[in-house]
Chain A
Amino acid sequence: MKIEPPAFEVAALSKAFVAGSVRVEALRGVSLSAERGQLIAIMGPSGSGKSTLLHLIGGLDAPTSGQVRIGETDLGALDDDRRALFRRRQVGFIFQDFNLLDVLSAAENTALPLLIDGLSEAEAHRRALAALELVDLAHRGDHLPGQLSGGEQQRVAIARALVTKPLLLLADEPTGNLDSTSGDQVLTLLRNLVDHQRQTVVMVTHDARQAALADRLIRLRDGVVVEDQVLPRCRPFREVLNDLDIVT
């Protein structure tokens, strides 16, 4: 039987940068690996390196040292264009402030990675609508971001992240700019993707309640992993939310 490689694996990962005249060590020798089909929460105080870790895993940034492997791909071996190709096909990003192009409609924003990848307009549009259907926004496909609520915009961003059927979904504080109702909808959506589609999701969050919904919790402090815990999850997600009294 073939052993499935981990969704991602990082080894001795370090990242340093210079801010003004000060050298900042954002990550210091972090090693991790994650199975597929998990929701992994990364927590830590500001400046602990969580976003940096997410960016390195997503190929948005290059480490100072160490290795990042996604599936069978070693990101360190890729040049910039191949890294772009990798991001386009293997990774879906969800940002705190949505990062939709405000001159394009929801469907056009969702179709963007496919169009960049060279898919025909018609096919990209068809898949974009399917992705929007997943987030329950197919009926809002023609709306511009400015005509959507924050929660809807983030769901469009999730649809855009999903449209290429990526190996990894990376979410950087996806509910940070949302009210609690919208935030819960987004969390439910992410959890469902893991539960029903075996999607691997890595989510950076400040919120312990949201982290409690993950399968695994990684805590960072000063650029090192201080806690790596598999969370027990026996009950359906909805019930957990009910217990936590965050679903009304």
Chain B
Amino acid sequence: MSWKYPTLWKYTTREVQRRPGRTVLTLLGIVIGVAGVVATGVMLQALRHAYRDLFETATGRASLEVVAEGYAGFDASIATSLADVPGIRAALPIIQSPATIITPAGSHPVLVLGVDPDRDGFARDYILRAGHTLDEQDGLLLEAGFAASRRCSLGGHVRLWTPSGLAYLPVVGLLEPRSAASFNGGSVAFMRLARAQRLFDLRDRINAVHLVLREGVDSNRLTSDLHGLLPVGLTVQPPSSRGSVGQDVLFLTQQGLGSLSVVSLVAGAFVILNAFLMNLGERRRQLAILRALGATRGQITRLLLREAISLGIVGTVVGIGVGALLAAVALHIAAVTMGLSARDVGWRIEPFLTAMLVGPGICVAATFLPARRAGRTEPLTDLMPRRHGQEPGLSRRLGFAGLAFSTAPLVLVLSSYVGWITPPISPFLLGTVTLLALVGSGFLIPLLLPYLLRFVGRLFRPSFGTIGRLAVRQLDRHPSRTALTVGVLTIAIVFVLFFGTTLLNRLQDIRNWYTRFAYGDFYIRSSFPDLTTLVTGAVLPEAVGAELKAFDGVARVDRIDGVITHVGGQSILMMGMTLSNARTMPFDIRAGEPQFAAQRLAQGDVILGTGLARRLRLGVGDSIEFNTPHGPQSRRIAALIQDYGAGGMILIMDDDEVRRLFNVKGVLCYVLTARAGKEPMLAERLRVFCRERGLIVDSKQETHTWFVRKIEGMVALCWVLLVLVFVVASLGITNSLTMNLLEQTREIAVLRAIGMKRGQVRALLLCQALTIGVVSLMPGLILGIGWSYLMHLPQNPTLGSIVHFQLNPWFLAGCCVAAFVVPILAALYPAQRAARLQVIQALRYE
């Protein structure tokens, strides 16, 4: 209607311009909702695709690869025989292994690709910026940007830690950052296959065959065909499979982000609804005039909806910008945490497209019913002078709907326990349940409000006297608005308590895990592992272990190794550890006998992460079958441990056994135990030793500090998001209190006329805000703590065990303070405005 008839459109735009404060509040609601969707969406998409894209970049045009379990070496002749399989254009023998490069700028993990330069062009393009290709000269090809940042020049030499030792290699060419050279921000080094075979101690063997398919060939069909042709221990997979463990690790983060996305939307929708109701409240007479003049119900509804959509579009544009900024910061933090190049944690268009729909969508969702109701209001109802009496409250049915919604987490927990929902619980499901729980919390308020107000009225009477009584009565007289305001704050409290408590408990659990796991006195490695899977973990030669053992003051040298293998189609991290004589097991053992675990590990049994055990439905004493290059192997489970490595998808075995089964070359990390009293001396010597060789040595404390630093960015981000939730709540409350003020205009004028001072008027409004705080806090605390407890249970199937639940008293106290401070801050402006009311003018206010 209003597009067609510009005067009506003018009416709408002028109304919007006339109330800039309200318009800004509404826009903020949309901006926050949309920004939340964009930021969390970009993060979710980026995390989802980060590892997949990473390895697809490395394989270039090859859409399949043949690998052995644990990425062990296998006979290079396999590549020759695969080249003859119909549908395969090229079968390229490859060595694809992580290593550590030592440059003038320090050591850095890289992926080494040993390639056959004559044939590798089938899969990858090598666009030289300077120097020579591998056809012409033996040495290393580096990505030009990476080389520059690491101060490597063409013709210069770099050192490379490989299983066979420290190699000294010339940089023969610099590549444009395209094709495989763009892997993880250029952290890739190309060398001839023969050279890689020597360095990685594989002689005539390779550890991957990249398959470039002919056009039109169905890769799924070819995969199943090849499975029948390949020898035992080899498998064919898409390159993205290498990132599957990484994706498991990110699952918890994805769950959290999914919930946050939902919450930002709900919060935004509540703010919009609040602002819109306020707007309608003030314009009811004008809308009635339009109806009296002959506007139909539909015309009024459409006019209002179009107004909402227009604001939605403006808010969406701004929200997308804000969301993109938030996402950029969050992605940077995530990339650093995951050990990925920020360049590779890519931006995708989907979250932006979603936001474009979501922005106007939440506006329509939040405003549809009120707009429809406004259209359906009989014109006379709003043309007649308003009766200033008790308003009807929100329907009790809404309260019962709240009760129904609130049972959602209960159902999820029960379903999870009885096994109807198998782990992991998807971010979507968790987000939906969070949404239901939050909306349920909000909807419960109409049921509870009368009792809560009565209680607070009694509570305030001795301290606040008449002003307190007036404040409570005013809130009681407008139960719909009060319920909405209290609902917004309750939802904020519930969410912050739930999210914050979960975060604190999980962080404490992770810290405990890592502290326990850091069992040695010193850790020697060539590069820091990424926090997720150790997929980029470069290895050291075994000879280094012998050198370390010879140090004076070393009581013991242990090894840690990691290979990726499969159990029942699930990618897992198999960790090899030499713990046969360990004094105490460095694990949080949740099932099994701790005193015998080490002994049984030495006898060939395995220890499982609870997450993996839960997913496979295995327990102590059961057998687990996993794949190796020599075929499936079965081992008895000695114990179950709570472990965050590889998202709980972890299996621990004696390192000698792992090395034997998976032909492991090199060692991921050496763990040194110092003789009593020799630690300081040993530390000094180890530092000198490692500095000369470009290795990293960390004491237990340094390892711990490194870990804390790694996760603190993500933790800070979470706290910022929690603060934002309170900001959103305060917007909603400011809206409601302003509306309350408008509705009380005449009464305030009467109070002023009979002698109430400005300060008392201000106190009245602030007292209302305080009442809202107290009323919200009571159900907020109960529901928030209750749901925090309930919701931590269904999250655990991902980890397979219960994270110890505890309430942090400081955090609880902070939430209580925020519940009081936020509404009072939000009330400052309306209170100031109320105090400045012109009495005569206000008495005429309708």
Q: Report A's interface with B, CB cutoff 8 A.
A: 55, 60-61, 80-81, 84-89, 93, 95, 99-101, 103-104, 108, 111-113, 115-118, 121, 124, 160
- Chain B residues whose C-beta falls within 8 Å of the C-beta of A117 in the assembled complex: 294
Is the CB–CB distance between B5 and A99 below 8 Å?
A: no
Given A88-B293, A103-B11, 6 more A-B residue pairs with CB atoms under 8 Å apart are A60-B379, A60-B380, A87-B293, A93-B293, A103-B18, A111-B7
- By size class, the interface of chain B is 20 to 34
Is the CB–CB distance between B379 and A116 below 8 Å?
A: no
Is the CB–CB distance between A108 and B10 below 8 Å?
A: yes
The contact sample of 12 A-B pairs, CB cut-off 8 A, is A61-B380, A80-B296, A81-B296, A88-B295, A99-B292, A103-B10, A111-B7, A112-B7, A116-B1, A116-B290, A116-B294, A116-B295
- Chain B residues whose C-beta falls within 8 Å of the C-beta of A104 in the assembled complex: 7, 10-11, 14
Question: Which of A80, A100, A111, A118 has the most chain B CB atoms inside 10 A of its CB?
Answer: A80
Give which listed residue, B286, B292, B297, B378, contacts A87 with CB less than 8 A.
B292
B197 to chain A, nearest CB (A): 80
Is the CB–CB distance between A115 and B8 below 8 Å?
A: yes
Is the CB–CB distance between A84 and B296 below 8 Å?
A: yes
- How far, in angstroms, from A173 to B770 measured CA to CA in the complex? 45
Is the CB–CB distance between B11 and A116 below 8 Å?
A: no
Is the CB–CB distance between A101 and B286 below 8 Å?
A: yes
Give the nearest-CB partner of A160 in chain B: B293
B552 part of interface (Cβ distance < 8 Å): no
Within 8 A of A (CB), among B261-280: none
A157 to chain B, nearest CB (A): 10
Is the CB–CB distance between A84 and B295 below 8 Å?
A: yes
- Chain A residues whose C-beta falls within 8 Å of the C-beta of B621 in the assembled complex: none
- Chain B residues whose C-beta falls within 8 Å of the C-beta of A95 in the assembled complex: 383
User: B5-27 toward A: CB 8 Å interface, digit per residue (1/0)?
Assistant: 11110110011001000000000
- How far, in angstroms, from A112 to B11 measured CA to CA in the complex? 10
- How far, in angstroms, from A60 to B299 measured CA to CA in the complex? 17
B610 to chain A, nearest CB (A): 63
Is the CB–CB distance between B10 and A84 below 8 Å?
A: no
B147 to chain A, nearest CB (A): 65
Within 8 A of A (CB), among B377-425: 378-380, 383
Is the CB–CB distance between A115 and B297 below 8 Å?
A: no
Is the CB–CB distance between A112 and B380 below 8 Å?
A: no
B678 to chain A, nearest CB (A): 84
B4 part of interface (Cβ distance < 8 Å): yes
Is the CB–CB distance between B292 and A116 below 8 Å?
A: no
- Chain B residues whose C-beta falls within 8 Å of the C-beta of A108 in the assembled complex: 7, 10-11
Q: Report B's interface with A, CB cutoff 8 A.
A: 1, 4-8, 10-11, 14-15, 18, 285-286, 289-299, 378-380, 383
Question: Which of B7, B294, B298, B379 has the most chain A CB atoms inside 10 A of its CB?
Answer: B294
Is the CB–CB distance between B294 and A113 below 8 Å?
A: yes
Is the CB–CB distance between B292 and A93 below 8 Å?
A: yes
A205 to chain B, nearest CB (A): 18
Is the CB–CB distance between A85 and B297 below 8 Å?
A: no
Give the nearest-CB partner of A99 in chain B: B289
- Chain B residues whose C-beta falls within 8 Å of the C-beta of A112 in the assembled complex: 7-8, 290, 293
- How far, in angstroms, from A115 to B285 measured CA to CA in the complex? 19
- Chain B residues whose C-beta falls within 8 Å of the C-beta of A87 in the assembled complex: 292-294
- Chain B residues whose C-beta falls within 8 Å of the C-beta of A115 in the assembled complex: 5, 7-8
- Chain B residues whose C-beta falls within 8 Å of the C-beta of A100 in the assembled complex: 289
A92 to chain B, nearest CB (A): 9
- How far, in angstroms, from A244 to B294 measured CA to CA in the complex? 38
Give the nearest-CB partner of B13 in chain A: A103
Is the CB–CB distance between A116 and B18 below 8 Å?
A: no
Give the nearest-CB partner of B17 in chain A: A103
- How far, in angstroms, from A86 to B294 measured CA to CA in the complex? 7
B183 to chain A, nearest CB (A): 60
Give the nearest-CB partner of A62 in chain B: B378
Contact A116 B5, CB 8 Å, known A89-B294, A101-B286: yes
- How far, in angstroms, from A43 to B7 measured CA to CA in the complex? 37
- Chain A residues whose C-beta falls within 8 Å of the C-beta of B286 in the assembled complex: 101
Is the CB–CB distance between A81 and B297 below 8 Å?
A: yes
B362 to chain A, nearest CB (A): 27
- How far, in angstroms, from A109 to B609 measured CA to CA in the complex? 74
Is the CB–CB distance between B7 and A121 below 8 Å?
A: yes
- How far, in angstroms, from A85 to B299 measured CA to CA in the complex? 11
A209 to chain B, nearest CB (A): 26
- Chain B residues whose C-beta falls within 8 Å of the C-beta of A60 in the assembled complex: 292, 378-380, 383
Is the CB–CB distance between A124 and B7 below 8 Å?
A: yes
- How far, in angstroms, from A115 to B290 measured CA to CA in the complex? 11
- How far, in angstroms, from A55 to B292 measured CA to CA in the complex? 10
Give the nearest-CB partner of B2 in chain A: A115
A94 to chain B, nearest CB (A): 11
- How far, in angstroms, from A41 to B842 measured CA to CA in the complex? 34
A142 to chain B, nearest CB (A): 13
Is the CB–CB distance between B15 and A103 below 8 Å?
A: yes
Is the CB–CB distance between B296 and A101 below 8 Å?
A: no
Give the nearest-CB partner of B385 in chain A: A97
- How far, in angstroms, from A84 to B292 measured CA to CA in the complex? 7
- Chain A residues whose C-beta falls within 8 Å of the C-beta of B289 in the assembled complex: 99-101
B299 to chain A, nearest CB (A): 7
- How far, in angstroms, from A115 to B291 measured CA to CA in the complex? 13
Is the CB–CB distance between A121 and B15 below 8 Å?
A: no
- A-B complex: 9 closest residue pairs judged by Cβ atoms: A88-B294, A103-B14, A115-B5, A84-B296, A87-B294, A81-B296, A99-B289, A113-B293, A116-B295
Give the nearest-CB partner of B299 in chain A: A116
- Chain A residues whose C-beta falls within 8 Å of the C-beta of B11 in the assembled complex: 101, 103-104, 108
Give the nearest-CB partner of B389 in chain A: A20
Give the nearest-CB partner of B381 in chain A: A61
Give the nearest-CB partner of A102 in chain B: B286
A82 to chain B, nearest CB (A): 9
Give the nearest-CB partner of B291 in chain A: A84
Give the nearest-CB partner of A116 in chain B: B295
- Chain B residues whose C-beta falls within 8 Å of the C-beta of A160 in the assembled complex: 293
Is the CB–CB distance between B297 and A80 below 8 Å?
A: yes
- How far, in angstroms, from A99 to B295 measured CA to CA in the complex? 15
- How far, in angstroms, from A128 to B556 measured CA to CA in the complex? 98
Give the nearest-CB partner of B15 in chain A: A103
A53 to chain B, nearest CB (A): 13
- How far, in angstroms, from A100 to B285 measured CA to CA in the complex? 10
- How far, in angstroms, from A88 to B297 measured CA to CA in the complex? 13
- How far, in angstroms, from A80 to B7 measured CA to CA in the complex? 24
- How far, in angstroms, from A111 to B7 measured CA to CA in the complex? 9
Give the nearest-CB partner of B12 in chain A: A103
Is the CB–CB distance between A121 and B6 below 8 Å?
A: yes
- Chain A residues whose C-beta falls within 8 Å of the C-beta of B290 in the assembled complex: 101, 112, 116
- Chain B residues whose C-beta falls within 8 Å of the C-beta of A113 in the assembled complex: 293-294
Is the CB–CB distance between A99 and B383 below 8 Å?
A: yes
- Chain B residues whose C-beta falls within 8 Å of the C-beta of A80 in the assembled complex: 296-297
- How far, in angstroms, from A121 to B295 measured CA to CA in the complex? 16
- Chain B residues whose C-beta falls within 8 Å of the C-beta of A103 in the assembled complex: 10-11, 14-15, 18
- Chain A residues whose C-beta falls within 8 Å of the C-beta of B380 in the assembled complex: 55, 60-61
- How far, in angstroms, from A241 to B779 measured CA to CA in the complex? 69
A211 to chain B, nearest CB (A): 23
- Chain B residues whose C-beta falls within 8 Å of the C-beta of A101 in the assembled complex: 11, 286, 289-290
- Chain A residues whose C-beta falls within 8 Å of the C-beta of B14 in the assembled complex: 103-104
- Chain A residues whose C-beta falls within 8 Å of the C-beta of B8 in the assembled complex: 112, 115-116
- Chain B residues whose C-beta falls within 8 Å of the C-beta of A93 in the assembled complex: 292-293
A108 to chain B, nearest CB (A): 5
- How far, in angstroms, from A245 to B513 measured CA to CA in the complex? 99
Give the nearest-CB partner of A82 in chain B: B296
- How far, in angstroms, from A89 to B293 measured CA to CA in the complex? 9
- Chain B residues whose C-beta falls within 8 Å of the C-beta of A81 in the assembled complex: 296-298
- Chain A residues whose C-beta falls within 8 Å of the C-beta of B378 in the assembled complex: 60-61
- Chain B residues whose C-beta falls within 8 Å of the C-beta of A121 in the assembled complex: 5-7
- Chain A residues whose C-beta falls within 8 Å of the C-beta of B15 in the assembled complex: 103
Give the nearest-CB partner of B6 in chain A: A121
Give the nearest-CB partner of A107 in chain B: B7
Give the nearest-CB partner of B384 in chain A: A51
A226 to chain B, nearest CB (A): 25
Is the CB–CB distance between A118 and B293 below 8 Å?
A: no
A180 to chain B, nearest CB (A): 21
